[in-house]
Chain A
Amino acid sequence: MLSRSLLSRSLARNAKRASGTLSQARRTFVQPSAVDKANIVGTPASVDDSLFTPRQDMLGFKLEAVKSTEKNRPIYLDMQATTPMDPRVLAAMMPYFTDMYGNPHSRTHAYGWEAEQAVDDARAQVAKLIGADAKDIVFTSGATESNNMIVKGVARFHKEKKKHVITTQTEHKCVLDSCRKLSEEGFDITYLPVQSNGVIDLAELEAAIRPGETSLVSIMMVNNETGVIQPIEEIGAMLRKYRGVYFHTDAAQAVGKIPINVDEMNIDLLSISGHKVYGPKGVGAAYVRRRPRVRLEPILSGGGQERGLRSGTLPTPLIVGLGEACSIALREMDADHARVKALSDRLIKGVTARVEHVVRNGDVNGYPGCVNLSFSYVEGESLLMALKEIALSSGSACTSASLEPSYVLRALGAAEDMAHSSLRFGIGRFTTEAEIDFVIERIVGTVSKLRDMSPLWEMVQEGIDLSTINWSQH
C-alpha cells in the first residue's frame, strides 16, 4: 500500500514536470515532427510506455522487447525446478543463522552442543519421513552431491570385482553424468530404455543384471520432467534375489510427496534434495543403509564427519531447515497430495476441454504435481515466450537453456516435434485454484493464437492427414 501510494505520487510529480518541459516533445500521430527532433527526444515519462512496447499478445513482434520489470510478478508453476521455501522452515532456521552459531562438531562447549542437538533432531526428522534409522542419514549439499557420492562411491568401492552399473535413460543429468564418468574409468554401464509411458520393464531390468558383476542399480523414484513413478517396491523386491547388487533411488522429486519406506521398498541408498521439499537450497541428504552395510568410497577426504562419507563442517541452519521441511511434509503429505491432485485434474480437464491435440507425456498414474503436456503444431519455446505471466519450463530446468528436445521425452518415444512442443506444469503446496484458472485461460488463448499463425495447423483444419501420431491418451 505504502509503496503503491508513493509510486503514484512520484508518477504524478513526474507527469507535472514532464508537462512543463517536455510537452513540446510529445508527438501525436497527426502532428509529424522533424526527424532530427524525434531522434533526440525520447518518450517523455508521462507517456504510457505500453503504447509503444509490443504487448505479449502481439505475436510476431520481438517478444524479448517486453520489459521484464513489469508491474506484476508471473505466477510460479515450476515446482520441479525448485519449490518456494515454506515460511515455517525459515522460522525454524533463523535462530541458527543468528545467535546459535556453534559448530556442531565442537565437543567442548555449549555452542557446539546446541548445534549438535539441532543436527541430530533434523537427522531424525529426515529419517522418519523415509522410514529409516537416523544413523543412516548423511547430510550433503543436495541431491546432485548425494547422487555423485552414491553412484561413483559404490561403483568405485567394488571396482576390483564388479564393474557393471545399471541405470535408466530417463535419469537426472547428475546420475547420467556420474555414470559417464564411471564408463571413462572402465566401468560398463547399462542404460535401460523405458516404455512409452516412461516406466521401465521389470523383466528387462532383471535380464540386464549380471550376477557377481553388477554392483549398483540406480533408478529414480519420480521423474523430474514427466512425473512418472517407477515401481520402486517391485524393483526392490526383485533385486533382493541378487546378493551384492545394491539398489539406489534418486528420490529428489519424491520425498515428501509420495510415501516412502526404505525397508518396505528394499532400498539400500537414496538421494534427497532440500529445495524440492519446500526446504532450503544447498542442502540434501543421502540415505546409506548400515544394516546390512552398504560400503562406498567417499569423494571428499577430511575431518571424517558423517561416518567418514562426507567430510566438512555441517551447515547447521540449512540442516535444521531440511529437517523442519521433512517434518512438515510428513505431517501434511496426505492433505498436500489430495490438493495437488485436485488442482492437477482441474488443469488437465480445463486445458483438454478447450484445446484440441494435446498429449499428456508420461504415465497418467504418475505424480500429479508434474503435468507434462505437448501442444501439437506449436513451438514450446514460442509458447513459453508468449506465456510471460507464467513461470514454466519446457523440459527440465537444466536443459531448457538449449533448444534440443528433452532426452527424457525422446526416451519415451515422443516424436521430435512433440518433444519440442511440450510444457511442464509444476503444481505444489502453495498453488491456488485462481492460478490454475489463470493458466488455463492463458494457455487456451495463446495456443489458438499461435496455431492460427501456423501453416501446419491450417492444413490440419483442411483435413489433410499429416501423420499417424497417436494424439491423445484420454
Chain B
Amino acid sequence: MASPTRAQVLSLYGNLLRASNSFYSYNFREYFVRNTRQRFRAHQSEADSARIKALYEDGLRELNVIRQAAAMNRLYAGPRLVVEKSGTPPSPYEGGKAGEGGGDAS
C-alpha cells in the first residue's frame, strides 16, 4: 500500500472518533474519544512517509477493534452514571442493534 492521502487520514480520524463516540459506557466513550484526539494531534506534523503509513495501518486495525468493542459494549447498556448529563444521548447509535449503526461510511 502506498502512503495514505490526507483525505484518507482525515477519514480514518473521523471514523475513529465516531466509533469511540458509540460506546454506551461513559468512561469508555470519554477515554477513547480523548485518546483518538491526542494520538492524531501528537502525530499531526509527521513528515516521514514510512512512519505515516505505519501509523495509518495501526489506526485501521484500531478502528476495527474499537468498532467491535463498542458494539459489544452497547449490547449490555446499563443505567447512566451520576455524572452524566441526563437527557443528552451521547451517541446516535444508542438502543440500536449491535453491528448496525456502529459502523459508518467507508
A434 with B83, Cβ < 8 A, contacts A73-B78, A90-B72, A91-B65 known? yes
A→B interface (CB under 8 Å) = 1-3, 71-76, 84, 87-88, 90-92, 94, 335, 389, 429-432, 434-435, 438
What are 18 contact pairs spanning A and B, CB under 8 A? Answer: A3-B77, A71-B80, A72-B82, A73-B82, A74-B82, A75-B82, A87-B23, A87-B28, A87-B66, A87-B70, A91-B65, A91-B68, A91-B69, A92-B65, A432-B26, A432-B27, A432-B83, A438-B82
Please tell me which one of the listed residues B31, B66, B70, B86 contacts residue A429 in the complex, with CB atoms under 8 A apart: B31
Residues from chain A with Cβ under 8 Å of B70 in the complex: 87
Q: Report the minimal beta-carbon distance from A95 to chain B, rounded to whole angstroms.
A: 10
Chain B residue, CB-CB nearest to A428 = B27
Residues from chain A with Cβ under 8 Å of B80 in the complex: 71-73
Bound CA–CA A434/B81 (angstroms): 11
Q: Are A430 and B31 in contact (CB under 8 A)?
A: yes
Q: Are A74 and B81 in contact (CB under 8 A)?
A: yes
Residues from chain B with Cβ under 8 Å of A3 in the complex: 77, 95
7 closest Cβ pairs, A-B complex? A2-B95, A87-B69, A430-B27, A72-B82, A91-B69, A91-B68, A389-B82
B→A interface (CB under 8 Å) = 23, 25-28, 30-31, 35, 38, 65-66, 68-70, 72-73, 77-84, 86, 89, 94-95
Chain A residue, CB-CB nearest to B96 = A2
Q: Are B94 and A73 in contact (CB under 8 A)?
A: no
Bound CA–CA A73/B94 (angstroms): 18
Residues from chain A with Cβ under 8 Å of B82 in the complex: 72-75, 389, 438
Q: Report the minimal beta-carbon distance from B5 to chain A, rounded to whole angstroms.
A: 27
Bound CA–CA A438/B81 (angstroms): 11
Q: Are A2 and B94 in contact (CB under 8 A)?
A: yes
Q: Report the minimal beta-carbon distance from A328 to chain B, rounded to whole angstroms.
A: 10
Bound CA–CA A1/B78 (angstroms): 12
Q: Are A87 and B95 in contact (CB under 8 A)?
A: no
Chain A residue, CB-CB nearest to B84 = A72
Q: Are B81 and A73 in contact (CB under 8 A)?
A: yes
Q: Report the minimal beta-carbon distance from B30 to chain A, rounded to whole angstroms.
A: 5
Chain B residue, CB-CB nearest to A84 = B27
Please tell me which one of the listed residues A88, A429, A430 contacts residue B65 in the complex, with CB atoms under 8 A apart: A88
Residues from chain A with Cβ under 8 Å of B30 in the complex: 430, 432
Bound CA–CA A282/B91 (angstroms): 33
Q: Report the minimal beta-carbon distance from A70 to chain B, rounded to whole angstroms.
A: 8
Residues from chain A with Cβ under 8 Å of B68 in the complex: 91, 94
Bound CA–CA A174/B70 (angstroms): 36
A87 with B27, Cβ < 8 A, contacts A2-B94, A2-B95, A72-B79 known? no
Bound CA–CA A432/B84 (angstroms): 11
Q: Are B81 and A1 in contact (CB under 8 A)?
A: no
Q: Report the minimal beta-carbon distance from A231 to chain B, rounded to whole angstroms.
A: 32
Further contacts, 6 of them, CB under 8 A, given A3-B77, A335-B35, A431-B27: A90-B72, A91-B69, A94-B68, A94-B72, A389-B82, A432-B31
Residues from chain B with Cβ under 8 Å of A87 in the complex: 23, 25, 28, 66, 69-70, 72-73
Residues from chain A with Cβ under 8 Å of B77 in the complex: 3
Chain A residue, CB-CB nearest to B42 = A335
Q: Report the minimal beta-carbon distance from A152 to chain B, rounded to whole angstroms.
A: 38
Bound CA–CA A118/B94 (angstroms): 33
Residues from chain B with Cβ under 8 Å of A73 in the complex: 78-82
Residues from chain B with Cβ under 8 Å of A429 in the complex: 31
Q: Are A430 and B28 in contact (CB under 8 A)?
A: yes
Residues from chain B with Cβ under 8 Å of A430 in the complex: 27-28, 30-31
Bound CA–CA A335/B34 (angstroms): 11
